[in-house]
Amino acid sequence: MNLTPKSLISKASGLALLGLLFTSNTFAASPGGGDLKSDDIVGISFWIISMALVAATAFFFLETQRVTPKWKTSLTVSGLVTMVAATHYFYMRDVWVATGNTPTVFRYIDWLITVPLLMVEFYLILSAITKVPGGVFWRLMIGTIVMLVGGYLGEAGYMNALFAFIIGMAGWAFILWEIFLGEAGKINAKSSPPAVQSAFTLMRWIVVIGWAIYPIGYFLGYLTGASPEKSMVLLNVVYNLADVVNKIAFGVIIWTAATSESDKVLNSSKA
Ligand SMILES: *C/C=C(C)/C=C/C=C(C)/C=C/C1=C(C)CCCC1(C)C
């Protein structure tokens, strides 16, 4: 190795750059978060929810120990949903606090992963007690993709906001049709034990009431004609609130069904 002054300088600067990258990575959670203002409602909600998602993840993963094997996958998927969301919340919080911009791309990348995982939950809940045709799963996925692609094109400005909203609503309507009137709904009505039926009914209402919070957020963000500043505060607060209901509360519902069904099995094997 020849150590000319020039090569030394380039090595030293390479090392310095590496050090810089390392420290900036180490403190990646603080640049935006460090500037969190006491009156920044959106920033504070991003912060609180990211921590709640971390706690929920640990809880769902640990509780897989407590349930019978067929419920373990459902709890694992709940934990994956909150884990993926927690990571995106760290980034979204930093974008918001550091720049004041709405983190649309991170939001939709998160939804693109977590909403299909929630659809998998439906399928798993039904599969835990009966044989479910694969078509149910694919119809739920198609509805999800149409809903999210519509929403993204509108929010990112690639399409008229109202037109994109209508496309997104159509995707959601298709999902609702499947779980109330389609094959998924019929399977549940026929063959589930009470705990699963009540979990399924609750999950259905989550997809109606809990999911309805998102289009309300979109409406307040893009379709009221209010100032961009006010609209973006409303949009983000409403979306964040919706995530608490649909990611954490949804997971807790599954946890309730899983533990009550498992305890029954474990108790009857003891007697
Ligand atoms: C964890 C994240 C979840 C459960 C996200 C769900 C998102 C929606 C249900 C979004 C729905 C939308 C419409 C129904 C209309 C168009 C705009 C959207 C994408 C916000």
Query: Does residue 190 sit within a domain?
Result: yes
* 239 C-alpha to ligand 1 centroid (Å): 9
Question: pLDDT truncated to tens, each residue of the chain (271 aa)?
Answer: 455 555 555 555 444 544 444 444 444 555 545 689 999 999 999 999 999 999 999 999 999 999 998 889 999 999 999 999 999 999 999 999 999 999 999 999 999 999 999 988 878 877 776 777 888 889 999 999 999 999 999 999 999 999 999 999 999 999 999 888 888 777 776 767 777 777 778 778 889 999 999 999 999 999 999 999 999 999 999 999 999 999 999 899 889 989 998 898 888 876 6
Per-residue model confidence (pLDDT) at position 23: 44
Residue 16 lies in a domain: no
The verdict on residue 270 lying in a domain is no
pLDDT digits (tens, 9 = 90+) for 198-229: 777 877 888 999 999 999 999 999 999 999 99
pLDDT more than 70, % of the chain: 85
Q: Quick check: is 15 in a domain?
A: no
For residue 181, what is the domain's CATH number?
1.20.1070.10
- pLDDT at position 251 is 93
| Inter-residue contact 126 to 133 (CB < 8 Å) | no
- Rounded CA gap, 205 and 239, in Å? 18
Segments forming the whole domain that contains residue 77: 41-265
**Cα separation of 210 and 179, whole Å?**
15
Total of domains in the chain? 1
Give the global pTM.
Answer: 0.85
Domain annotation covers residue 25? no
Q: From CA 127, how far away is CA 27, in angstroms rounded?
A: 43
**Shortest-distance Cα residue to atom 14 of ligand 1:** 169
- Ligand 1 center to residue 217 CA distance, Å? 9
Please say whether the beta carbons of 89 and 49 come within 8 A: yes
Closest CA to 161 of 76, 231, 262: 231
Instruction: Please give the pLDDT value at position 27.
Output: 43
Q: Identify which of 218, 237, 244 has the alpha carbon closest to the alpha carbon of residue 148.
A: 218
pLDDT of residue 22: 43
Most ligand 1 atoms within 8 A of CB, residue of 81, 153, 214 to mutate:
214
Q: Which residues line ligand 1 (CB under 6 A)?
A: 111, 114-115, 118, 147-148, 150-151, 165, 168-169, 172, 211, 214-215, 218, 243, 246-247
Locate the ligand 1 atom nearest the alpha carbon of residue 85 and give its number: 1
Specify the residue for token string 């769902």.
60
State the distance from the centre of ligand 1 to the C-alpha of 269, rounded, in angstroms.
Answer: 43
Note whether residue 3 is domain-resident.
no
Q: How many CB atoms sit inside 10 A of residue 15's CB? A: 10
Measured from the CA of 171, which atom of ligand 1 is nearest? 14
Q: For ligand 1, atom 7, name the residue with the nearest CA.
A: 214
Cα 148 to ligand 1 centroid, rounded to whole Å:
6
Residue 271 counted as domain residue: no
Cα 55 to middle of ligand 1, angstroms? 24
Q: What is the pLDDT of residue 17?
A: 44
Whether the CB-CB separation of 255 and 78 falls below 8 Å is answered with yes
Asked if residue 120 belongs to a domain, the reply is: yes
Asked if residues 98 and 31 have their Cβ atoms less than 8 Å apart, the reply is yes
Long-range contacts at 69-76 (CB < 8 A, ≥ 24 apart)? 70/128, 71/128, 71/257, 71/258, 71/261, 71/262, 73/124, 74/121, 74/124, 74/125, 74/128, 74/254, 74/258, 75/251, 75/254, 75/255, 75/258
Closest ligand 1 atom to Cα of 164: 16
